Amino acid sequence: VFDRAARQLTYRVTVYGVTDDAVLFTHIHRAVDGAVGPVAHLLGGGARPRVSGTLLLSAADLRSLRAGDLYVDVHTRTNLPGLRAHIRWPEE
């Protein structure tokens, strides 16, 4: 859920079919579709298949979100590059 006035992104990420010890990190990265980008935010503070919280987005984060250039990446022991899903700007 995105609160535009507060620039806050409230998130919940759940990965099914993995054990708690299989997840290494959950991040938000900044990059265009198909590219690998730098970590913008560490989500949930650790290695768990379910994380939730709220982020205050910077001006750069907002530009990337509007452009479709933010993605969630869950890195696991069996998939080190990660399981990736892009975050889309909410419809008006």
Per-residue pLDDT tens digits for 35-66: 999 999 999 766 778 899 999 999 999 999 99
The sign of the CA dihedral 42, 13, 74, 10 is negative
Per-residue pLDDT tens digits for 8-38: 999 999 988 888 888 999 999 999 988 999 9
Domain boundaries, the chain: 2-87
**pLDDT at site 92:** 59
Residues 6+ positions from 52 with CB-CB distance below 8 Å: 10, 11, 12, 13, 44
The CATH fold assigned to 2-87 is Immunoglobulin-like (2.60.40)
The 3-state DSSP class for residue 29 equals strand
When pLDDT is averaged across residues 67-74 and rounded to a whole number, the result is 94
**pLDDT at site 34:** 87
